[in-house]
């Protein structure tokens, strides 16, 4: 990957906000290369500095220290007029969609083209094409109030694509959406990245979003980059304290497992791709403790055994027995 051209380079980037009585450091010594055509994630808890970082990337906020290099151009060295032109290559989508309520979906998409001085007929043609790209061809005349959250975000994505950007900055773009809509928006961003070759930068506080869509991730903590790597590396072996906190959120963490009864589950050729234990835990809503496992994959079939410890909760145990019997999974009690 390092052989590819970085489309964005951040070198020693820092941002300090000064007011009358004090100064607040929002970013400190950020060094980052984002490569052309990748989907890059920036994650951190609230107040870590993610939104300031994205606003420094497109120079909506001027950094106090360091450089932002976009497509080989040092943004600190260009005029305001040139900067406006460069910003057309870095479109942004937001958590709250930021659509103009008095304009139809089509007119919202036309808006950045009007600002760029594109003739009306040409702008409308482009807007119709983009409505098709985001799957809203039939909503051209609908106003934002008539659209669902997911549809509004699709219009916002179409508007962001209007100026043919090289980079799409997504600042918490799915935070206001339900899980199903979030997945459809992330799939759309993935499609746009693959078909149009646009570099996508995803800013979020949700690890599930990073896992779903990104190839690499930078973890921001207390105004600095705590860790950077491929999503697989960070998920498998998180090094920093904040990475461990984000990966192992502990939402369903069990400190001590109490239970005496044990079962041996036999795998006798079920497909290796069927997550038997995970499905059982989800369906029965009962945790189990895996004491021993010896399974192997032979031509896509699972063979072997697993010994699990059941919780003391009687109704939970009954659900597990019923699940195993219903799904014809061989098992026996272990003394």
Q: Say what the pLDDT of residue 329 is.
A: 86
Record the tokens describing residue 142, joined without a space.
Answer: 């609908």
* Contacts for 141 with CB less than 8 Å, ≥ 6 apart: 104, 105, 106
- Sheet strands side by side (includes 216-221): 90-94, 167-171, 199-204, 39-43, 216-221, 224-230
Distance from C-alpha of 171 to C-alpha of 95, rounded to nearest angstrom: 6
Can you tell me which residue has the tokens 């032109």? 85
Can you tell me which residue has the tokens 């031509």? 299
Range list of β-strands (E), 130-177: 167-171
Q: Say what the pLDDT of residue 138 is.
A: 92
Helix, strand, or coil here: 220? strand
Give the orientation angle of helix 314-326 with respect to helix 276-284, to 10 degrees. 130
Domain 262-334: CATH superfamily is ACT domain (3.30.70.260)
Can you tell me which residue has the tokens 């950077």? 228
pLDDT averaged per 10 residues in sequence order, the chain, 335 residues: 80 90 89 94 87 90 93 92 89 89 94 90 93 92 92 94 93 86 91 93 88 90 90 80 74 56 82 79 86 75 82 85 88 80
Q: Residue length, the chain? A: 335
Buried b (16+ CB within 10 A) or exposed e, 39-63: bbbbbbeeebbbbbbbbbbbbebeb
Q: Say what the pLDDT of residue 36 is.
A: 93
The CB density around residue 224, as the number of other CB atoms within 10 Å, is 17
* Contacts for 127 with CB less than 8 Å, ≥ 6 apart: 106, 109, 110, 113, 140, 158, 162
Q: Say what the pLDDT of residue 264 is.
A: 84
Q: Which sequence spans correspond to the domains of the chain?
A: 262-334
Q: Say what the pLDDT of residue 291 is.
A: 84
Q: Say what the pLDDT of residue 68 is.
A: 94
């Amino acid at each position: 990957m390092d052989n590819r051209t970085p489309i964005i380079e951040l070198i020693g980037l820092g941002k300090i906000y000064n007011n009358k009585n004090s100064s607040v450091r929002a970013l400190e010594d950020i060094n980052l290369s984002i490569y052309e055509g990748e989907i890059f994630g920036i994650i951190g808890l609230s107040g870590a500095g993610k939104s300031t970082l994205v606003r420094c990337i497109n120079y909506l906020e001027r950094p106090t220290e360091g450089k932002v290099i976009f497509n080989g151009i040092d943004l600190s060295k260009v005029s305001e007029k040139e900067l406006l032109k460069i910003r057309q290559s870095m479109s942004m989508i937001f958590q709250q969609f930021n659509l103009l309520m008095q304009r139809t979906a089509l007119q919202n998409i036309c808006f950045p083209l009007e600002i760029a001085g594109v003739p009306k007929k040409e702008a409308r043609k482009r807007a119709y094409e983009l409505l098709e790209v985001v799957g809203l061809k039939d909503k051209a005349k609908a106003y934002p109030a008539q659209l669902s959250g997911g549809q509004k975000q699709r219009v916002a994505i179409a508007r962001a694509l209007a100026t043919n950007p090289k980079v799409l900055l997504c600042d918490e773009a799915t935070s206001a959406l339900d899980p199903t809509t979030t997945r459809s928006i992330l799939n759309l961003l993935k499609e746009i990245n693959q078909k149009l070759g646009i570099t996508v930068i995803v800013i979020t506080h949700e690890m599930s979003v990073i896992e779903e869509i990104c190839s690499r991730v930078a973890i921001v903590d207390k105004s600095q980059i705590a860790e950077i790597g491929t999503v697989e590396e960070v998920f498998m072996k998180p090094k920093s304290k904040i990475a461990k906190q984000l990966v192992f959120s502990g939402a369903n963490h069990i400190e001590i497992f109490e239970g005496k009864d044990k079962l041996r589950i036999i795998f006798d050729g079920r497909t290796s791709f069927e997550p038997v234990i995970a499905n059982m835990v989800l369906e029965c809503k009962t945790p189990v403790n895996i004491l021993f496992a010896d399974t192997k994959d032979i031509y896509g079939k699972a063979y072997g055994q697993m010994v699990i410890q059941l919780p003391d909760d009687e109704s939970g145990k009954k659900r597990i027995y019923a699940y195993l019997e219903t799904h014809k999974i061989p098992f026996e009690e272990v003394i």
